[in-house]
Chain A
Amino acid sequence: MRSFTYERATSPQQAAAIVAERKGAKFLAGGTNLLDLMKLEIETPTHLVDVQDLDLDMIEETAEGGLRIGALVSNTALSADPRVMRDYAVLSRAVQAGASGQLRNKATTGGNLLQRTRCPYFYDTNMPCNKRSPGSGCAASAGYSRQLGVVGISEDCIATYPGDMAVALAVLDAVVETIRPDGTSRSIPLGDFHLLWGDTPDKETVLEHGELITGVVLPKPPGGQHYYHKVRDRASYAFALVSVAAVLQPDGTGRVAFGGVAPRPWRKDEADAALTQGAKAVVEQAFAGSATRDDNKYKIALAERTLAGILAEARS
């Protein structure tokens, strides 16, 4: 770990302004990912701006009938909120499918959106990795890729966004709210928040340097039945091989997003539209243009089978 300086911010705008001023500065919230990466020198911030004192840990109802989730609401609090459990069950289930109880107590809503990939080559600093060290190459592309991406990836990077929460947020049409160093705020649809890797896999989101996530807004409840099925090699405490978030209406229409397959929670309008035609049609649409490898091509079949299980459960 490199030496760094540390301070605690007193307001969101102040936090944003401090980070914007210093090139090597980063926000620190729960620290469940950032601190691990700092120990490995994959992240090397020179200054940390701790946002934990900011007043962003509330879940409030919006005028539109939805919820605004503060950026500092912990995963534990989010998944246990009665309104979330009742009206946005897919979100509660997705959060509970992630990490461990201890980690969920520390992990925040804003931080979780910024969780970095779990590609093993990204974590091993002896290996080339365009995300960690731009231009060095991608060791994963022709390597051990069983966990890695099959769609939306590029020549330069086949990593996935590893989280669960954001997959549910994607089917809920959530909007990320931020504050910028100049005090202005913006609203970013979740589907636009994470970037595809292209030839700049080190750039992972649309956030500008110094732009702080203040909250996530859920539109009014979508109704329907909510599903989150995370398939992994063990029953708990593992990242998804494939996860499927779905909100299904009684008429068979609905929304679906896939996790563990792409640089972002993977949702396609065409795939949603195909829901009434069954899992095969949905997956054909969602995974059009996929680029699989021998050891991860199973993910497409697994996505189809997982969705088929959800659709069967919805019918029963």
Chain B
Amino acid sequence: MKYEAPVGKTIFDDAKIVGKSTRRIDGPLKTSGMAPYAYERHDVASGQVYGYIVGSAIAKGRIASMDLEEARSAPGVLAVIAATETDPLGSSNFNTAPLFGGPEITHYHQAIACVVAETFEQARAAAALIRTTYDRDEGEYSLSRTVEQAASDTSKIVSENVVRNGDFESAFAAAAVQIDQTYTTPDESHAMMEPFATIAAWEGDKLTLWTSNQMIAWGRAAMASILRMPKENIRLDSPYLGGGFGGKLWVRVDAVLAALAAKAAGRPVKIMMQRALTYNNATHRHATIQRVRIGADKNGKIAAIAHECWSGNLTGGMDENGAAQTRALYAGPDNLTASYLTELDLPEANAMRAPGEAPGHLAIEVAMDELAEQLGMDPIELRILNEPETLPSNPSIKFSDRHLVECLRVGAESFGWANRKSRPGTVREGRWMVGMGVAAGYRGALIMKSGARVSIDARGKISVETDMTDIGTGSYTIIAQTAAECMGVALEDVSVDLGDSRSPVSAGSGGQWGAASSTAGVYAACVELRRMVTEKFGYDPETASFADGMVRDANVVRALSEAGPLSAEDTMTYGDFQKEYDMGTYASHFAEVAVDAYTGEVRIRRMLAVCDAGRILNPLTARSQVIGAMVMAAGAALTEELAVDKRFGFFVNHDMAGYEVPVHADIGQQSVIFLDTLDGVIAPLKAKGVGELGICGPGAAIANAIYNATGVRVRDYPITVDKLIAEMPDVA
């Protein structure tokens, strides 16, 4: 089915199941430990043995020698796979850092060996017996240095993405009020709860990978390319994931080594990438340096806005476009948004939840707060005053459906914004300095083609098969809701099978496109199945209705089960009409914080997100998405930083004790309000994603609240006590 034009009224506009808060259908399996994650799939292949990964001790250079003999003769060892004995593998076509093979080292903890043994402990002990020497090369590990060099030497910029409308420089120079500030964000890790893990088994030339991956079809294609074998001979199965956040968009070395090791050992091999390796071995979010300039008139009307972002990556890597949201957020006829990439020898940076926009908001939305203060304006009124009619970076583009102003107004009312004191440092409760902050949020609403197979059995039960993944998001449930709604059955009569590459190819989970895209694909398959049912019954497909397990046409009624078994498969694709629109999701984010006047410790008291993301398919799971993202945003604002050792070229704090994600005690009350909106441009369900919208803005709201509480503006994230007390007034 092709979606060619914005849709009018649909069955979802009178929905009984879609749009209703619904508990996860996979919840009981998860809470009882019965949902098997990749590493726990003991039953899928017998005789599983264990692989243990060895990571490079240097960041750049090559392996001079590897002594493998002691490891090979250690107890229980079945095979040792070494980079020096393996030719470089094929490229995944998704990543730039080579995953395995050959002596060249491009980043710290790059896999250089894998030991396979009967037990995990034997594999780990033998891995420690491998002796490796290296020839170390000098590397570049400092983003601030490459960006400084780029100022005078443009060849240091290896790629750029610059969008201009009008003449920013002239308009900025002429503006009565100007903001020109630079913000820095650190490298961040996905730090998902479930590590990368794979069990691999060969049957002849056919390979099965039980793994933890967000994008099954990409992963299958990548493995085919890496192992140089036909993708038809590869099966990926990933029904449950314990988080991904973009880190599992790609197959990682656990999958590659499990495949190689299973072949070498002649046994199924299971590998969990050790936690301490994940920070440097896998991908991470780039650090950024962002400069924001805004020129406005004395009334706050923005004339000129520029947001430029610098990041660094390995050769061939992508950038972190922190300026992306600034193309859409505020009116300002003369604007410039740009992302510049330099080269670093740190591990590969790549997509992490709301790539670009998550760190981008930490700059632009603080700059707006700074502008509001300079103008003596309320920061909400400033944003409302500068609400654009069409896309500021390209005014010929319309917004598909946008209610940012309503988000701000509803949020202000609900949060009690009127009680905020605009002068910083004026609210004190004992030792606590208290403040409120606000930020707007924008995240693009991507939509991807997505397929599904929907079947009716002889009992009238519906089953859905698609390679869509549920990375903790609630995909199982919204897909079941969609199928139940379309086929006129109860939710309990729908079963959903996800994450298997034998199923039709879906959009997968990424870029907050999963919910809108995968349900549209299920809808397409259901429409086809309904057509087949009516054909079988001799009903008019235009007038037949599906409800309560029955199919009605005029005065005839038959049970849906009579049509079974019957199966339909389809894929939803999209027409070019969408290019006329900017499809986005919008939010207002509020935070109230208390800062210890002595120690600078920050405590988040309250957070609120008001979201405009079209139809909310399942408010319960959508809320979980948003509050989870708000927690992650709080981490970015306050605690999370991969600390770079610029001599050795690696992330030093590479474990869960050193890389501090928020804990429960860091998060106060969280509230989410969904506006009742519909976006008919994006897809027939008129729904957009929220999983990344939730991380776009809350960090800036926290930063602005800290400023409101203390009068201290920290522009170098995360905002930690050392940076705060350096500027806070003396207390002794």
CB of B639 within 8 A of CB of A234, answer yes
CB of A234 within 8 A of CB of B431, answer no
- The answer to the question of B653 belonging to the interface, with a C-beta cut-off of 8 Å to chain A, is yes
- The answer to the question of A298 belonging to the interface, with a C-beta cut-off of 8 Å to chain B, is yes
Alpha-carbon gap, A306 to B725, bound state (A)? 11
Alpha-carbon gap, A120 to B639, bound state (A)? 17
Alpha-carbon gap, A313 to B432, bound state (A)? 12
CB of B732 within 8 A of CB of A298, answer no
Question: How far is the CB of B537 from the nearest CB of chain A, in Å?
Answer: 59
Residue picked from A229, A298, A305, most chain B C-beta under 10 Å: A305
CB of A309 within 8 A of CB of B125, answer no
CB-contacts of A280-316 with B (<8 A) = 280, 298, 301-302, 304-306, 308-309, 312-313
Q: Which 7 pairs of residues, A with B, have the shortest CB-CB distance?
A: A309-B598, A126-B57, A235-B665, A298-B722, A236-B665, A144-B652, A280-B732
CB-contacts of B630-684 with A (<8 A) = 638-639, 643-645, 647-648, 652-655, 657-658, 660, 662-666
- The answer to the question of B375 belonging to the interface, with a C-beta cut-off of 8 Å to chain A, is no
CB of B663 within 8 A of CB of A234, answer yes
- The answer to the question of B158 belonging to the interface, with a C-beta cut-off of 8 Å to chain A, is no
Q: Is the interface of A mostly helix, strand, loop or mixed?
A: loop
CB of A305 within 8 A of CB of B725, answer yes
Alpha-carbon gap, A90 to B276, bound state (A)? 35
Interface string of B132-174 (1 = CB under 8 A from A): 0000000000000000000000000000000000000000000
- The answer to the question of A251 belonging to the interface, with a C-beta cut-off of 8 Å to chain B, is no
CB of B648 within 8 A of CB of A298, answer no
- The answer to the question of A65 belonging to the interface, with a C-beta cut-off of 8 Å to chain B, is no
CB-contacts of B677-732 with A (<8 A) = 718, 720-722, 725-726, 731-732
CB of A1 within 8 A of CB of B663, answer no
Please give, as numbers and ranges, the residues of chain B lying within 8 Å of A139 by CB-CB distance: 645, 648
Known contacts A39-B124, A234-B663: A120-B658 contact under CB 8 Å: yes
Provide 26 A-B residue pairs closer than 8 Å at the C-beta atoms, listed in order of the A residue: A1-B121, A1-B125, A39-B124, A41-B128, A123-B276, A123-B655, A124-B654, A143-B645, A144-B645, A233-B718, A234-B660, A234-B665, A235-B603, A235-B663, A237-B663, A279-B732, A280-B732, A298-B725, A302-B722, A305-B725, A305-B731, A305-B732, A309-B596, A309-B597, A309-B731, A312-B731
CB of B599 within 8 A of CB of A306, answer yes
Interface string of A107-151 (1 = CB under 8 A from B): 000000000001011011011000000000001001110100000
Alpha-carbon gap, A139 to B7, bound state (A)? 62
CB of B732 within 8 A of CB of A304, answer yes
CB of B665 within 8 A of CB of A312, answer no
Which residues of B are at the interface with A, using a C-beta cutoff of 8 A? 57-58, 121, 124-125, 128, 276, 431, 596-601, 603, 638-639, 643-645, 647-648, 652-655, 657-658, 660, 662-666, 718, 720-722, 725-726, 731-732
CB of A3 within 8 A of CB of B664, answer no
Please give, as numbers and ranges, the residues of chain B lying within 8 Å of A305 by CB-CB distance: 598-600, 725, 731-732
In the complex, what residue of chain A is closest to B604 when comparing beta carbons? Answer: A235
Known contacts A120-B653, A302-B725: A308-B732 contact under CB 8 Å: yes
Please give, as numbers and ranges, the residues of chain B lying within 8 Å of A233 by CB-CB distance: 638-639, 660, 718, 720-721
CB of A238 within 8 A of CB of B596, answer no
Known contacts A144-B653, A233-B660, A280-B732: A241-B721 contact under CB 8 Å: yes
Question: How far is the CB of A296 from the nearest CB of chain B, in Å?
Answer: 8
CB of A312 within 8 A of CB of B431, answer yes
Question: How far is the CB of A159 from the nearest CB of chain B, in Å?
Answer: 14
Alpha-carbon gap, A236 to B643, bound state (A)? 20
Query: Inter-chain contact count A-B, CB under 8 Å?
Result: 105
In the complex, what residue of chain B is closest to A41 when comparing beta carbons? Answer: B128
Please give, as numbers and ranges, the residues of chain A lying within 8 Å of B732 by CB-CB distance: 278-280, 304-305, 308
Please give, as numbers and ranges, the residues of chain A lying within 8 Å of B639 by CB-CB distance: 233-234
Alpha-carbon gap, A309 to B596, bound state (A)? 9
Question: How far is the CB of A274 from the nearest CB of chain B, in Å?
Answer: 12
Please give, as numbers and ranges, the residues of chain B lying within 8 Å of A313 by CB-CB distance: 431
Please give, as numbers and ranges, the residues of chain A lying within 8 Å of B603 by CB-CB distance: 235
Known contacts A1-B124, A121-B652: A143-B647 contact under CB 8 Å: yes
CB of B643 within 8 A of CB of A231, answer no
Known contacts A235-B666, A308-B598: A118-B657 contact under CB 8 Å: yes
Please give, as numbers and ranges, the residues of chain A lying within 8 Å of B643 by CB-CB distance: 144, 146
Please give, as numbers and ranges, the residues of chain B lying within 8 Å of A143 by CB-CB distance: 645, 647-648, 652
Alpha-carbon gap, A118 to B643, bound state (A)? 15
Known contacts A118-B657, A124-B654, A144-B643: A236-B664 contact under CB 8 Å: yes
CB-contacts of A53-111 with B (<8 A) = none
Please give, as numbers and ranges, the residues of chain B lying within 8 Å of A40 by CB-CB distance: 276
Alpha-carbon gap, A313 to B718, bound state (A)? 29
Please give, as numbers and ranges, the residues of chain B lying within 8 Å of A241 by CB-CB distance: 721-722
Question: How far is the CB of A234 from the nearest CB of chain B, in Å?
Answer: 5
Alpha-carbon gap, A312 to B599, bound state (A)? 13
Alpha-carbon gap, A142 to B662, bound state (A)? 28
CB of B726 within 8 A of CB of A298, answer yes
Please give, as numbers and ranges, the residues of chain A lying within 8 Å of B601 by CB-CB distance: 231, 235
CB of B721 within 8 A of CB of A302, answer yes
In the complex, what residue of chain B is closest to A229 when comparing beta carbons? Answer: B599
Please give, as numbers and ranges, the residues of chain B lying within 8 Å of A118 by CB-CB distance: 657
Alpha-carbon gap, A251 to B725, bound state (A)? 29
CB of B660 within 8 A of CB of A238, answer yes
Please give, as numbers and ranges, the residues of chain A lying within 8 Å of B431 by CB-CB distance: 309, 312-313
Alpha-carbon gap, A62 to B648, bound state (A)? 53
Residue picked from B124, B645, B652, B731, most chain A C-beta under 10 Å: B652
Alpha-carbon gap, A301 to B732, bound state (A)? 10
Alpha-carbon gap, A234 to B720, bound state (A)? 9
Please give, as numbers and ranges, the residues of chain A lying within 8 Å of B124 by CB-CB distance: 1, 39
- The answer to the question of A239 belonging to the interface, with a C-beta cut-off of 8 Å to chain B, is yes
In the complex, what residue of chain B is closest to A279 when comparing beta carbons? Answer: B732
Please give, as numbers and ranges, the residues of chain A lying within 8 Å of B731 by CB-CB distance: 305, 308-309, 312
Alpha-carbon gap, A241 to B601, bound state (A)? 11
CB of A231 within 8 A of CB of B653, answer no
Please give, as numbers and ranges, the residues of chain A lying within 8 Å of B665 by CB-CB distance: 234-236
Alpha-carbon gap, A40 to B277, bound state (A)? 12
Other-chain residue from B58, B597, B662 in contact with A234 (beta carbon distance below 8 A): B662
Residue picked from B276, B653, B725, B732, most chain A C-beta under 10 Å: B732
CB of B725 within 8 A of CB of A301, answer yes
Alpha-carbon gap, A129 to B171, bound state (A)? 56
Please give, as numbers and ranges, the residues of chain B lying within 8 Å of A235 by CB-CB distance: 601, 603, 663, 665-666
Question: How far is the CB of A254 from the nearest CB of chain B, in Å?
Answer: 17
Alpha-carbon gap, A286 to B724, bound state (A)? 23
CB of A302 within 8 A of CB of B599, answer yes
In the complex, what residue of chain A is closest to B55 when comparing beta carbons? Answer: A126
Question: How far is the CB of A146 from the nearest CB of chain B, in Å?
Answer: 7
Further contacts, 6 of them, CB under 8 A, given A120-B653, A236-B663: A142-B647, A144-B645, A298-B725, A308-B732, A309-B598, A312-B431
Please give, as numbers and ranges, the residues of chain B lying within 8 Å of A304 by CB-CB distance: 732
Question: How far is the CB of A260 from the nearest CB of chain B, in Å?
Answer: 12
